[in-house]
Each structure stands twice: as structure tokens, then as C-alpha cells.
Chain A
Amino acid sequence: MASLDDLKKRIASVKSTQKITKAMKMVAAAKLRRAQESAERGRPYSEKMNNIILNLSNGISDKENAPKLLSGTGENKVHLCVVMTSDRGLCGGFNSNIIKKAKSYFSKTLDEGKQLKIITVGSKGNDQLKRVYGDKIIENISFKESKNANYFDADKVGRIIIEKFEAGEFDICTIFYNQFKNVITQIPQAQQIIPLNNEEDHNNPDESYEFEPDEDEILSNLLPKNISTQIFKAMLENSASEQGSRMSAMDNATRNAGEMVDKLTIEYNRSRQAAITKELIEIISGAESL
């Protein structure tokens, strides 16, 4: 059995860990609110963008010559996966959930005999993926310096993707991120951004627009922007999810630490009692034998 001194030390150390996790929870809660707000504020932009593109692609005259970003290269050989994770740890299952989702997609793609290329955004994802898929990672982008998700960073990622697409380095691009549902639920998402998946029903055929200049030109201008917008959306969702996940993880940690302190305190008290009882018995039996 551990000595009284050891127990005392352990209680103290668990208590200080608890203080840290509690503080981290507070910080995450504050950041979460901000991240959630900006995620909500960013929504109209991406929604509007989606709407316009939908309207545009409905109105496009000949589908054959549609921009490649919309219709794809017509092939399905090389897959580019953009895995978006956080730069910091201690956020529960946040990163591992994305990685798990991504990995199952990777093995499916490889099983089908397709080529795989990976871009990791955020250092945690890179750390976890480079052991198994190290040779597939073609780029690792990290925004450790930026405090909040901002459009400028998203645009940078978007440009890289478009550059690679125009160079013919891949046919299909999918992004992986966590969608923020609420503090305890984040859903890992795989979203295909190139070619654009227009599965929503085209329900407004009577809507006629005037285009200036023509549809093709607008589309070829708009689609690259849409890529950046989608990535930005993913970044916003991700940052809200990260804080939410961290908050609940730290909340759990704080609770666990509390339970541990209780257990250790009971053990400490018991052994203190035992020691006292033992001493008493020794004294009494010593006195009796006289």
C-alpha cells in the first residue's frame, strides 16, 4: 500500500491537473462561442454562392463545354483528398474522427485501384497520417499563426487545389472536416468539391436570368471562388467543432479528476485511520502485557 505521503502527493497532482483542465474548458467555451458566431455569420455567403451556382448551372447552354471544375475531367483515376484537422491536441476525438473517416475512404479508393493524393491542413492530421500514408501526402498546410479561421487562408488552400487541378494532377477532390452540430456531436464529413456534386433537385426551371457576360464566363470566374468558399466553410465548421470537442473533452477530464480525487482522499483517510488504529493496538497490547 502506498504510504500516506505518496497519496498526499498524488492528490495534489490530480488536483492541479484538474485546475488545468478546468481552465482549458473555460477557454474553449469562450472560444466556442466566438467560433460558432463566425460560423453562423459565414453561412449566408456560402449558401448564396451555392444558390447562384445552382441557378447558373441550370441555365448553362451546352453541358459538353461546361467548365471542368463543374463537370469534372470525365475521368476517375486520381483522387485528391484534403484532410482538414486542427493544429492543437487535447480536443477529444476531434482529429481521430476525421482521420478515421478519411482512412476508410483512402482504403476504399486504393482497393478500387485508384491513385491517391493527400493534402493535409493542420498539423495534427499530418502527424497521424504520415505513418501510413506518408508517401501519398503531397502537401501539408498549417495555419498555426492565424488565430481565427479567415478567408485569406481558405483562399490560399483553394488556389493550391485549383492550380493542381489545372495542371491535371487529379480528377476528383474531396474535403474532410467535422461538421458542427452541437457541443457534444460533431459529424465527420466527406464533401466532394471537384467536380461539383449537383444532386439537389433542379426545381426552378421557369426562373430565367440575364447573364452579363455569358454563363460560361461567369461560371469559370465563380467556380474557383466557390472552392475557396467551401474550404472556408469547412474551416469555420472545423474550428467550431474543435472548440466544442475540446470543451466536452475537458469537461470530462475535469469530472474524472474530481472522481479520482475523491477516491484517493478516501484511500488516504482509510490508511491514516489504519495507521492510527495500528499504533493504538500496539500501545494497548504493550500496556496489557505489563
Chain B
Amino acid sequence: MSEEFKIEIVNPEKSFLVKEDVLEVVIPAFEGEMGILKDHISIISFLKPGIIKVFSKSGDENYYVEDGIIEFKNNNLSILTSAIFSVTDLDKSKQEDLLKKAEVEASKSEISDQAKYLADQKVEVLRSIN
């Protein structure tokens, strides 16, 4: 029995990533990181800014996401997100750009607690990527 399942990451513009040989995915769910293995129970959850870690037979990959929603069903993991970047492709200038934007947002005073929390998360995660 194989331990693989399928992952599909889509953003509004295109299908970002499709992989059939995934062993484990760690996603930054809203209430904490969550590891997904094959035969996980059907679940719907949404994401906070963080790193999606994809472990597959053909190599491991990391992606930075700002938001999104995940659905796992019948060993199909779908991730819908509007902002996703591959960590390896994320160059310094782009990263700093995103960081600056997040910092501006985090420093705003009139935003809700949740928005503030999300912005802080963004800053933290972006700082930690190197």
C-alpha cells in the first residue's frame, strides 16, 4: 500500500502546483500547524501566513502563503490561495517588498485584532525565511 496522496495548489490565475507523489504536507492552519498524511479525515480549514512544507518522493518543497483555504478529501488535498510563492524562487528584493508591506499593515492602529494578528504573522514568517 503506498503512502502517497495528491496535492493541488491553485491560485486565481492558474493551477500553481499539482503533485501525485506526496508523502506529507505541513500547512499553517489558522489554529496552528497541521501535518497531513495519507488517509487523513476529510477536513476544511483555512490558512494563516506561513510556510507550506511539501514532502514528496521527488523532493521537498517549501512555499510561502499569505492566506488560503484547504480541503482534504479522498486523499486529495486542495489548497486555494491568492498569494503563494515558492521559497526557493523568492529572491531577496521580493521578500523585502512583502516584508515592508506586511510591516506597514502591522503598524496600522485602526485595524481589527484579527487583521493585526495576521499581519504580525506575516512579518514574523517573512523574517524567518532566509
Contacts and interface: CB of A to CB of B under 8 A. Distances in A.
**A-B interaction:** yes
Given A151-B82, A212-B31, A213-B31, A45 B10 contact: yes
A151 B13 CA distance: 7
Nearest to B40: A210
A36 B71 CA distance: 27
B15 A41 contact: yes
Interface stretch (A48-56, A253-261, A271-279): A48-56
B14 interface: yes
Nearest to B34: A212
A150 B13 contact: yes
B82 A225 contact: yes
A192 to B, nearest CB: 21
Contact of B43 (A41, A211, A221): A211
A232 interface: yes
A51 B73 CA distance: 12
A171 B30 CA distance: 31
A213 B30 contact: yes
A225 B46 CA distance: 12
Interface string B59-70: 000000001010
A218 B12 contact: no
Nearest to A40: B14
A42 B15 CA distance: 8
A123 interface: no
A200 interface: no
Contacts of A218: 44-46, 69
A211 B12 contact: no
Which of B31, B41, B42, B67 has most chain A Cβ within 10 Å? Answer: B42
Contacts of A209: 42-44, 73
B80 to A, nearest CB: 6
Most chain B CB neighbours (cut-off 10 Å) among A38, A49, A212: A212
Contacts of B11: 45, 151
B45 A42 contact: no
Contact of A210 (B31, B43, B69): B43
Contact of A151 (B12, B45, B71, B78): B12
A155 B82 contact: yes
Nearest to A210: B43
A146 to B, nearest CB: 13
A38 B69 CA distance: 22
A207 interface: yes
B71 A41 contact: no
Contacts of A42: 12-14
Interface in A161-212: 207-212
Nearest to B68: A225
B22 interface: no
B7 interface: no
Contacts of B15: 41, 44
A22 to B, nearest CB: 31
B29 interface: yes
Interface string B4-24: 000010111111000000000
Contacts of A120: none
B42 A207 contact: yes
9 contacts: A38-B13, A48-B78, A52-B44, A52-B80, A151-B11, A207-B42, A209-B42, A222-B46, A225-B67
Interface of B: 8, 10-15, 29-31, 34, 41-46, 67, 69, 71, 73, 78, 80, 82
Interface of A: 38, 41-42, 44-46, 48-49, 51-52, 55-56, 150-151, 154-155, 207-213, 218, 221-222, 225, 228-229, 232
CB-based closest 5 A-B pairs = A41-B14, A151-B12, A212-B45, A210-B43, A45-B10
